[in-house]
Every structure is written in C-alpha cells, then in structure tokens.
Amino acid sequence: MSRLNLLNEPWIEVISMNEGTQREISLLELFHHAEQYRCLAGEMETQNFAVLRFLLAVVQTVFSRYDSDGNPYPFVELNDQMQQIDEVDEDDRDDYVEAREESWQALWKAGHFPEIVCQYLEKWQEHFFLFDETYPFYQITAEEMSKIIPDGKKPTEFSGRNLNRLISESGNKTALFSPVSAEKKDFMSASELARWLLMLQGYIGLSDKTSIVGKMQKPSKGWIFDIGGLYLKGDNLFETIMLNFIPVHPEPKYRLNGQKPCWENSGLRNVERLKSGKSVDNLAELYTNWSRAVYINPNMKNDEPVLLNIVKLPAIEHQDNFLEPMTIWSMNSTGDNKGHYTPRKHRPDQAVWRSFGLIALKTSSQSDQKQPAIIERIDEIRKIVGSKWIDIQAVSMKDDGNATSWVPVDEIIDNLNANDLVIADASDNGWIVRINNAVETTKQTVEIYREFVQDTAEIRGKDPRKDGKAFIDSEKENLYQNLNEPFRTWLSHIQPEDSKNEKVSEWYDSLKNIVMQQAESIVNRATTRDFIGIEKGDQIFNIVNAYQKFKNRVMQKLLR
C-alpha cells in the first residue's frame, strides 16, 4: 500500500518570510509559494544542501523542456509524461540555449514559479511515495534488491541511529550527547525519514559492508560528501533556487544533454546505470545521484524503529568532472589524480575566506585555477538581478579520517558576503585580485606570527616538532579565529566605488593591530626564563629579541 506522497504531504522544513516560524510543507506547496519562505530549515545545513540540490533537479528538468510560460520548447520532443525522449538537434543549439536563458530571466522577473513545475511533478506522482512497492522514492523494491544482491550476501542493516546524523551511532560507538533518549534513537517521523534519506544518498561514507561495486570502480561515499559545497543564498527560497539554477551549462559538452532525474527511472535502472560505469552528463542526474541502493519495508509502521537495508554503489568520476557547478576545485600535484582537478572539501580548521582565490579568481590554465561555475555565473546574471549583496554559503562534511570507513562526524559551514559588483570585478587590478592579494598577505603575516611563537617555544626549551608543536598550532589557530570575523566584516563593507588602495590599507591596519596584540599578549605573560633566553650562535636570544624580529617583519610585510 502506497503511503506518504511527498508531493502532497508535508516533509520539507522551511522558515516563513512573514512570521519567521518553522514549519513542514509539501513539495507542491514549496513550488507554489517558494517566494513566501525564507530558507530551508532541516536538522543540519548539510541536509539542507542535499534537499536544495533535489529541488534544483526539479527546476533543471522542467525548464530544460518548458519555458517560463509553461510552453514546451519547439526543439524538445516530449512524451505524455512530459519526459524528453530525444536529444536536441545540434542545428538548434543556439536557439535552444538562448530560449533557456530567456526563460531564466523571465522567471526571475516574475518572482515565483509557474504552474508548469507542479503539473510536471503531478505527472510523476506515483514515483514520490516514500513507502511503496513499485516506485519508492530514492529507493529500490524488495524484488529489485534480490536481483542486484550478490549470491550469499545480505544487505547491510542501517538503523535510525545511523541515519540520523545528529546521532551517528554505530554498533561499536555510542553517541554520548544524543539529542534524543536512548530508547528513541531508532525512531523518527516519516517526514524526518524522507529528509534523512536524501542526506544518506549524499553523505554516507564507507562503513557499511555489502557492495556491488565492480573491480575497476570505487565505492561511493556520497557525491556531495566529497565536494566543498557552495551555493548562493537569496532573500527568499525562490531566489536561492533561482540563483543556483543553471539553465545553460558553461561546459559546451553538457549543453544539449537531456535531464535525467532519478525519479524518471525505476530503482533498478538507476542502479544498473551506475554499475555500467556510464558517465553522468546532466545536472538533474548529478543532483539526484545515489550512493546506495536502499530498501525500506513499505509496510513499516510509524511506531516502529526505522531500519533500512543498503548496498554500496559505484562512485561517479571525480577527475575533471566539471559538470559539478557547486564546489571548490583543486589541481593535484601528487597521487593518482596528479595533473587533474578534483573537488576540494572545505577544511574544518579553516574559514572559507582563506580559500577566497579558489572561489573568486577566474579560471586560468596558467595558474591552475578553476572557478566554481556557480560563482562564475554571478557576472552573467547581475544585470538581471540588479545590485545585490551576494551571500556565498559553504557546506562540507567532516569525516573521521579513517580511510576504511570515512564516517561522517560533523558538518563544516561558513559564508562570505560581498557586493556582486565586487565579486564580479575580475580585471587585472580589480577587486577580486586585490582581495585575493590581501588574503595571501594575511596568510603570510600569520606565518610570521607562527615563527615568533616557534621562537618563543625554543626559548622555553621546547622542540617545535614535538613538545612545542601543540603550543605553536594553538596560537596560530587562535590568531586565525581572531581574524575571521574582522575579515568577513571588511569584505562585506566593500563598495564597488571605494578606493582599492584605501580599503586594502584599512584591512592591513586591522590585521596589524590584531596580530600585534596577540604577540604582545605572549610577551606580557613572559617568564624570567623567557627574558634570560638561550644561546644562539654567539648571541643571547630571548623573547625581547624574538618580538623585535617579529615586529620588524610584520611592519615590512604590511608597509604600504
């Protein structure tokens, strides 16, 4: 018996614009009134990112086939299910591309989604039941599981306490600070299950055992587990979806490819497509990519503990996979990926502004720079959206560091806020270059401070690589923590018409004050031993000498 149709039943957590209250809404309600909700508001930001990509897959699919008025493009052949059945002819490329860009502009100006989105979803209503024996949402059926599972193998059992990443408990490790009591850890509402199911497909790791991954393939940890996720946040949910909706992919090889979201296939076909190793070549398929074949008993009762049966699926290609628009990229200089770009996860000990260059600098083969497509698009759309502050949200999942399991343990979230004209100014002496230079100078200044702390450790008789390392690392990280908010504030207050020299000097003044204050705090806590110092060559080296050397280097570095 089919239960909980996600088109009509509330399951997506949002915050309303007017009351500021949190509530659950259905998928149809979201697309009817997206402009009335401030943002997604699920249990975790990583979960919100997974849900956002699901919503983007809907929009990518519909508006690759229909214009903003709900009329099918003449270049696209559709069936009765509003499904594209043939690729667009190469001769129609330019007209098709132009029509899709015009549709994006018309949608933005309208400020809401047209009825065609809900009409399309209703055509696929049978594929949006969370509990179903034929087309369960983001799952496979019992019969399909029996077809894919290797002989003599059983799926891995995955309980509610594994699925709920606020708990993330395994059979070997108890979550000590769980948000729910011990007896309730495996229980959740059906709407919670739907949200966590999307997150499971995006972030899971490798701790489960049963696999159908081929010898020449790698198992999937969840595609978005492996990326440094970025998205643009608008003033409401409609704007957020639209700012991240890419009507025409910047990579020419993907522009005419039909959109293939997972719900337009059976569960078995989704699994077989991944097993075949066929490349993912469209955004809707990428955004709805599965990391696991999941079976949930469709007869599971609401008062029963949640139990999933899961099987590992192959990962999609990471090397130079520029289909992905919502990640930071890194050029690899070593290892199996040497000479190739791969997605770079955000680092748990680094604020995202420290990666400003990877985010904002334009693509350049000379400097091994690949700009995220979602950021690259800001320059294209700013004439349509008008003057706007750009809120760049960064989302990643931290793992346990164990290469055999890669268990998700915590999320990494951050943001950058800047004027769109500032972020789009990529001229040789433009804002992007000047801000990136300021970031690099800041990093170099922090290294000068680290060397001062290292000198202090040596004066105190500590080996910088052993017993002094914790002190050095802690002081360096404390300095970065003290710089994070001032830098974000400085960046967010830059206006396009400001003098670049004056604004950069303003930051260097702040940087100098902060770093000097932190160094002075070490001097103020100095002991007699610090002032007596140590012999270094034929000289006495003490904290006064170390501080003076540090001060001179900082002044020279920040000399304007």
pLDDT, tens only, 164-223: 988 766 555 544 344 554 667 899 999 999 999 999 999 999 999 999 999 999 999 999
Cβ-based neighbour number of residue 71 at 10 Å: 10
Q: What pLDDT sits at residue 320?
A: 97
CA distance 478 to 443: 13
User: Coil, helix or strand for 325?
Assistant: coil
Q: Which pLDDT score, from 0 to 100, does residue 306 have?
A: 95
Coil, helix or strand at residue 513: helix
According to the model, what pLDDT value does residue 180 have?
A: 55
pLDDT at 177: 42
Cα distance between residue 54 and residue 435, in whole Å: 34
Q: How confident is the model at residue 415 (pLDDT cuts 50, 70, 90)?
A: very high
Question: C-alpha distances in angstroms, 258 versus 40, 65, 88, 492?
Answer: 28, 9, 8, 39
The string of pLDDT tens digits covering residues 272-323 is: 999 999 999 999 999 999 999 999 999 998 889 999 999 999 999 999 999 9
The whole-angstrom separation of Cα 478 and Cα 328 is: 25
Buried b (16+ CB within 10 A) or exposed e, 201-224: bbbbbbbbebbbbeeebebbbbbb
**Helix 431-459 vs helix 543-557: angle between axes, to the nearest 10 degrees?**
170
Distance from chain centroid for Cα 131: 29
User: On the CB side of 441, how many CA atoms lie within 13 Å of its CA?
Assistant: 23
For 477-510, give one letter per residue: b (16+ CB within 10 A) or e: eebbeebbeebbebbbebeeeeebeebbebbbeb
d(Cα 122, Cα 81) in Å, to the nearest integer?
Answer: 10
227-242: average pLDDT: 97
Contact 68, 299 (CB under 8 A): no
Residue indicated by tokens 């409609």: 238
Asked whether 225 and 202 are in contact (CB, 8 A), the reply is: yes
